[in-house]
């Protein structure tokens, strides 16, 4: 059985000029694997992650046919049951550590808290574990970092602290939202290998959100490509360069490549037709007035 | 000891010390400058007032010789700057001159009335904090719910209700009709001037003296005026708490806390509240300072012998020494509260260090 199955996920925000559909019918499944999600800024990657944890704040509206974790539909859980899922079973590395860490709480305190929430560990054990975790994400002066406040940390340190904090309760699924964007290549490799090991050894499922196509194709097993709130293409990571969808091809063509150098990088072309994948619907008058709303959940395989 | 090793002292150690003393020096400096400015203003006001200070000492029917002698004795023939230094050294020694009204030293009078205001303002502020902060928190967390609406109305009433009306109605209902609280004054008439004044605050003095009967009588007298002031400060504090909280609840780190699976209570109190403490301190200090100026209307309605009614009475009878002395004390309280809230600020916000 798959760890996680997401079926027809929608996230909407009511605005003054009608509802804004930020995520429109996303479906995918996650096994004990590394699933990459790529897509341009604003394509709904982060919201998809948050919606799975049921952390979209009102007035945002989340609907889905199902979001099931090992067969259990998260949408049916009470808030109290959901809290047992968060952190312990599904955890999420938040995108921007600058804003995602509590500025008035020591780093160590924040990591310890993530651990002791789901274990009965003593403070001392929790601290030892937190230090161990900080070292695991290759932070050398872990004792100092433990006592530091977030504003004393660099962006890359923040990301590693975030990763340590979210891995410490040993989740079954980790949603990592651009976890390595501020890290230099050597540290990035190290951090990725930690996540990789958890996937291999403990059968963790990893959702790896990134802008970096090369990284995703090298690191992940499968890739979802999102565009305008929907999944336009799913493929094996090593086949990414053979992707068929015009948006994916556009993305690939706008990447600099060492093997086939080109004089000029291509500019990404966009097509409104990608926003809906059932072209017939576009002809209906009510859809013309609200072009963002599509009634299908079909997904390009 | 470090020079023996030929190395400079550890920088962290050194900079910690220097930073501490620089901070202290800056705080003291700013207090001194502010107070000097205030004293200069009160001095100037004292000079330009169309009240002849000599006449108020010697009386209107004094002879020319007596008048001139007093004029010189008061240093009024000296240059203005010299006079200012006289004034400064008097104030530093706690001498605000004598009241034109009753000839008693102003400093003694202030020592008598200020504790009364301090007592009332402190309890009022405590009430404001104890009820205002949770009310604001609930209103923010349950935004747009009926609780939020109720909190809004409560604060609005607190802002807009005239205090003398509230005081009179309060007295009528709780003292006149129900008899639950004591009437005007700080204690019942039989208890006046029984406990020896140590702090000047009757609640503390009576407790120190073990006079529990008087203590409870004083409590029953302070409840109503303190509640009314507390209501005012509650209105302000709860509104500010709400808006600070709304801002924090939208922050990303709050989502992070939820991702960890923390309970809503922990998310709100440990994380979000931890981030509004600093702003809240400023707000509370401001509202406390406002009450410490002495709320004239409350003090008059409740016959509360505080600094607000003292300064007002002095003002109405052109008793300049009393007015200026009172102003200096109120100013000093303001400056001290500011310093205190600054210190607490750097204590609670790691980024301010
Ligand atoms: N609270 C909100 N209210 C209204 N619109 C929102 C809200 N949160 C997100 N959106 C919109 O939803 C869309 C998707 O946001 P999301 O954060 O998922 O993008 P993303 O794919 O993660 O982008 P990035 O790569 O820049 O992080 C964006 O257009 C964003 O403006
Ligand atoms: Mg994002």
> May I ask the CATH class of domain B110-352?
mainly alpha
Q: Please answer whether residues A90 and A52 qualify as being in contact, where contact means their C-beta atoms are separated by less than 8 angstroms.
A: yes
pLDDT at B271 over 80: yes
Q: What is the DSSP letter of A264?
A: S
Contacts of B277 in chain A (CB under 8 A): 104
Region B38-63: mean pLDDT is 77
Region B77-102: mean pLDDT is 84
Asked whether the beta carbons of residue A100 and residue B257 sit closer than 8 angstroms, the reply is no
Give residue A287's pLDDT. 35
Closest Cβ–Cβ partner in B261, B274, B277 for A88: B261
Give residue A264's pLDDT. 62
The domain ranges of chain B are 10-92, 110-352
pLDDT at B164 over 70: yes
Which ligand is the nearest neighbour of the Cα of A20?
1
Enumerate residues 6+ apart whose C-beta is below 8 A from B80.
Answer: B47
A301-to-A27, A220, A271 alpha-carbon distances in Å? 10, 18, 19
Give residue A260's pLDDT. 62
Which tokens go with B238? 């709860």
Average pLDDT, chain B: 84
SS (H, E, C) chain B: CCHHHCCCCCHHHHHHHHHHHHHHHHHHHHHHHHHHHHHHHHHHHHHHCCCCHHHHHHCCCCCHHHHHHHHHHCCCCCCHHHHHHHHHHHHHCCCCCECCCCCCEHHHHHHHHHHHHHHHHHHHHHHHHHHHHHHHHHHHHCCCCHHHHHHHHHHHHHHHCCHHHHHHHHHHHHHHHCCCCCCCCCCCHHHCCCCCCCCCCHHHHHHHCCCHHHHHHHHHHHHHHHHHHHHHHHHHHHHHHHHHHHHHHCCHHHHHHHHCCCCHHHHHHHHHHHHHHHHHHHHHHHHHHHHHCCCHHHHHHCCCCCHHHHHHHHHHCCCHHHHHHHHHHHHHHHHHHHHHHHHHHHHHCHHHC
A234 forms bridges with which residues in the sheet?
A224
Give residue A258's pLDDT. 61
C-beta of A62 in contact with ligand 1 (< 6 A): no
Among A16, A17, A18, A22, the mutation site with the greatest number of ligand 1 atoms within 8 A of its Cβ is A22
Q: Which amino acid residue places its CA nearest to atom 12 of ligand 1? A: A22
Burial of B219 (0-12, 13-18, 19+ CB in 10 A): middle
Give residue A301's pLDDT. 40
CA distance A97 to B253: 9
Phi, psi of A75, deg, nearest 5: -70, -20
Angle at which helix B320-348 crosses helix B11-48, to 10 degrees, equals 160
**Residue A93's CB: how many other CB atoms inside 10 A?**
28
Q: Please answer whether residues A25 and A9 qualify as being in contact, where contact means their C-beta atoms are separated by less than 8 angstroms.
A: yes
B189 forms bridges with which residues in the sheet?
none
Q: Tell me which residue has tokens 């406990």.
A: B195
Cβ of residue B252 closer than 8 Å to a chain A Cβ: yes
Give residue A140's pLDDT. 87
Which of A153-162, B59-68, B223-232 has the weakest average pLDDT?
B59-68
pLDDT at B11 over 80: no
Pairing between β-strand A34-39 and β-strand A222-227 as defined by DSSP bridges: parallel
Per-window interface: B 272-291 vs A, CB < 8 A: 274-275, 277-278
Closest Cβ–Cβ partner in A84, A101, A169 for B256: A101
Which of A123-132, A262-271, B337-346 has the weakest average pLDDT?
A262-271
Closest Cβ–Cβ partner in B256, B270, B274 for A94: B256
Enumerate residues 6+ apart whose C-beta is below 8 A from B76.
Answer: B53, B54, B83
User: What would the pLDDT profile of B67-89 be if each residue is shown by its tens digit?
Assistant: 888 788 777 777 888 888 888 88
pLDDT at B315 over 70: yes
Q: pLDDT > 70: what percent of chain B?
A: 93
B317-to-B96, B101, B103, B323, B331 alpha-carbon distances in Å? 17, 8, 13, 10, 22
Which stretches of A101-212 are DSSP H helices?
107-116, 123-136, 142-147, 155-167, 185-202
Q: Could you tell me the distance, in angstroms and rounded to a whole number, from the CA of residue A114 to the centre of ligand 2?
A: 22
Q: pLDDT-derived band of residue A263, with 50, 70 and 90 as boundaries?
A: low
pLDDT at B240 over 70: yes
C-beta of A44 in contact with ligand 1 (< 6 A): yes
CA distance A39 to A231: 9
Which ligand is the nearest neighbour of the Cα of B255?
1
Q: Which of A287-296, B13-22, B77-86, B138-147 has the highest mean pLDDT?
A: B138-147
CA nearest A162 in B: which residue? B256
Closest Cβ–Cβ partner in B255, B261, B263 for A94: B255
Cβ of residue B351 closer than 8 Å to a chain A Cβ: yes
Q: In chain A, how long is the greatest CA-to-CA distance? A: 65
Q: pLDDT-derived band of residue B60, with 50, 70 and 90 as boundaries?
A: confident
Q: pLDDT > 90: what percent of chain B?
A: 27
Give residue B244's pLDDT. 95
Asked whether the beta carbons of residue A103 and residue B350 sit closer than 8 angstroms, the reply is yes
Helix, strand, coil shares of chain A, percent, nearest 5, are: 40, 25, 35
CA B77 to chain centre: 37
Which of B67-76, B259-268, B280-289 has the weakest average pLDDT?
B67-76
CA distance A15 to A23: 15
Contacts of A57 in chain B (CB under 8 A): 250, 255
User: What would the pLDDT profile of A281-299 be if each residue is shown by its tens digit?
Assistant: 333 333 333 334 333 334 4
Q: Could you tell me the distance, in angstroms and rounded to a whole number, from the CA of residue A274 to the centre of ligand 1?
A: 18
Q: In chain B, how long is the greatest CA-to-CA distance? A: 87
Best CA proximity match to B40, nearest among B76, B95, B78, B88: B88
Region B159-169: mean pLDDT is 84
Region B249-265: mean pLDDT is 92
Q: Please answer whether residues A276 and A299 qualify as being in contact, where contact means their C-beta atoms are separated by less than 8 angstroms.
A: no
Give residue B131's pLDDT. 95
**Interface-testing mutation among A93, A104, A106, A171, with chain B (most B C-beta atoms within 10 A):** A104
User: What would the pLDDT profile of A21-79 be if each residue is shown by its tens digit?
Assistant: 889 989 999 988 899 999 888 889 999 999 999 999 888 999 999 999 888 898 898 98
Asked whether the beta carbons of residue B348 and residue A86 sit closer than 8 angstroms, the reply is no
Best CA proximity match to A111, nearest among A145, A83, A85: A145
Asked whether the beta carbons of residue A92 and residue B257 sit closer than 8 angstroms, the reply is no
The residues whose Cβ lies within 5 A of ligand 2, an ion, are A 46, 95
CA B75 to chain centre: 34
Contacts of B278 in chain A (CB under 8 A): 104
Asked whether the beta carbons of residue B258 and residue A86 sit closer than 8 angstroms, the reply is yes
Q: Give buried/exposed letters for A37-76 (b at 16+ CB in 10 A, else e).
A: bbbeeebbbbbbbbbbbbbbeeebebebbbbbbeeeebee
CA A140 to chain centre: 27
* Residue B218 or B241, more confident: B241
Phi, psi of A248, deg, nearest 5: -60, -45
User: pTM for the full model?
Assistant: 0.81
Region B279-296: mean pLDDT is 88
Region A81-95: mean pLDDT is 91
C-beta of A224 in contact with ligand 1 (< 6 A): no
Asked whether the beta carbons of residue A102 and residue B257 sit closer than 8 angstroms, the reply is yes
Give residue A174's pLDDT. 92
C-beta of A95 in contact with ligand 1 (< 6 A): yes
Asked whether the beta carbons of residue A55 and residue B271 sit closer than 8 angstroms, the reply is no
Cβ of residue A53 closer than 8 Å to a chain B Cβ: yes
Give residue B255's pLDDT. 93
CA distance A249 to B209: 88
Q: Tell me which residue has tokens 């203590």.
A: B215
Atom in ligand 1 nearest the alpha carbon of residue A229: 14
Q: Could you tell me the distance, in angstroms and rounded to a whole number, from the CA of residue A177 to the centre of ligand 2?
A: 7
The domain ranges of chain A are 97-170
In a 13 Å sphere around the CA of B1, the CA atoms on its Cβ side amount to 1
Contacts of B352 in chain A (CB under 8 A): none
pLDDT at B1 over 50: no
pLDDT at A91 over 60: yes
């Amino acid at each position: 059985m798959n760890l996680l199955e997401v079926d027809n996920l929608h996230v909407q925000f009511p605005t003054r000029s009608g509802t804004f559909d930020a995520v429109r019918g996303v479906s995918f499944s996650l096994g004990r694997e590394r699933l990459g999600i790529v897509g341009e800024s604003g394509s709904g990657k982060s919201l998809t992650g948050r919606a799975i944890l049921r952390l979209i704040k009102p007035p945002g509206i989340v609907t889905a046919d199902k979001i099931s974790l090992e067969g259990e539909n998260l949408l049916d859980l009470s808030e109290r049951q959901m809290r047992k899922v968060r952190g312990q079973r599904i955890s999420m590395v938040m995108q921007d550590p600058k804003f995602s860490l509590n500025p008035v709480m020591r780093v160590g305190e924040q990591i310890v808290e993530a651990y002791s929430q789901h274990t009965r560990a003593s403070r001392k054990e929790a601290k030892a574990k937190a230090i161990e975790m900080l070292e695991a994400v290759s932070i050398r002066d872990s004792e100092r970092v433990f006592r530091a406040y977030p504003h004393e940390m660099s962006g890359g340190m923040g990301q590693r602290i975030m990763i340590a904090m979210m891995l410490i309760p040993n989740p079954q699924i980790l949603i990592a939202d651009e976890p390595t964007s501020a890290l230099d290549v050597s540290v990035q490799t190290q951090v990725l290998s930690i996540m990789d090991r958890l996937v291999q050894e403990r059968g963790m499922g990893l959702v790896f959100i990134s802008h970096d196509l090369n990284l995703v194709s090298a690191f992940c097993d499968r890739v979802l490509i999102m565009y305008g709130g929907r999944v336009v293409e799913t493929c094996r990571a090593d086949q990414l360069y053979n992707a068929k969808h015009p948006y994916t091809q556009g993305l690939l063509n706008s990447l600099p490549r060492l093997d086939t150098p080109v004089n000029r990088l291509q500019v990404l072309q966009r097509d409104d037709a990608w926003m809906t994948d059932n072209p017939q619907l576009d002809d209906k008058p009510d859809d013309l007035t609200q072009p963002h709303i599509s009634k299908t959940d079909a997904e390009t395989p | 000891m470090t020079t023996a090793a030929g190395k400079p002292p550890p920088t962290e150690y050194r900079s910690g010390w220097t930073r501490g003393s620089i901070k202290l020096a800056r705080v003291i400096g700013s207090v001194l400058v502010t107070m000097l400015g205030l004293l200069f203003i009160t001095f100037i006001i004292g000079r330009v007032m169309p009240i002849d200070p000599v006449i108020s000492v010697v009386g209107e029917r004094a002879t020319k010789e007596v008048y001139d002698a007093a004029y010189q004795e008061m240093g009024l023939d000296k240059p203005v700057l010299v006079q200012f230094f006289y004034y400064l050294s008097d104030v530093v020694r706690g001498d605000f001159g004598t009241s034109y009204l009753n000839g008693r030293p102003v400093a003694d009078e202030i020592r008598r009335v200020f504790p009364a205001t301090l007592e009332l303002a402190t309890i009022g502020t405590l009430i404001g904090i104890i009820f205002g902060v949770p009310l604001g928190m609930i209103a923010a967390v349950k935004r747009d719910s009926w609780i939020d609406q109720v909190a809004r109305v409560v604060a609005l009433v607190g802002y807009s209700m005239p205090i003398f009306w509230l005081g009179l109605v309060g007295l009528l209902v709780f003292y006149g009709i129900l008899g639950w609280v004591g009437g005007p004054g700080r204690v019942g008439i039989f208890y006046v001037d029984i406990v020896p004044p140590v702090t000047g605050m009757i609640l503390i003095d009576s407790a120190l003296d073990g006079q529990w009967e008087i203590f409870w009588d004083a409590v029953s007298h302070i409840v109503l005026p303190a509640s009314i002031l507390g209501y005012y400060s509650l209105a302000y504090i709860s509104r500010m708490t709400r808006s600070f909280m709304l801002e924090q609840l939208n922050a990303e780190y709050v989502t992070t806390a939820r991702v960890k699976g923390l309970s809503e209570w922990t998310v709100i109190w440990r994380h979000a509240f931890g981030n509004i403490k600093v702003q809240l301190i400023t707000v509370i200090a401001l509202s406390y300072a406002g009450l410490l100026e002495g709320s004239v209307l409350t003090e008059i309605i409740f016959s509360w012998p505080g600094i607000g009614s003292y300064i007002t009475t002095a003002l109405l009878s052109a008793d300049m020494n009393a007015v200026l002395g009172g102003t200096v004390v109120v100013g000093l309280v303001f400056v001290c509260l500011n310093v205190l809230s600054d210190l607490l600020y750097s204590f609670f916000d790691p980024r301010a260090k």
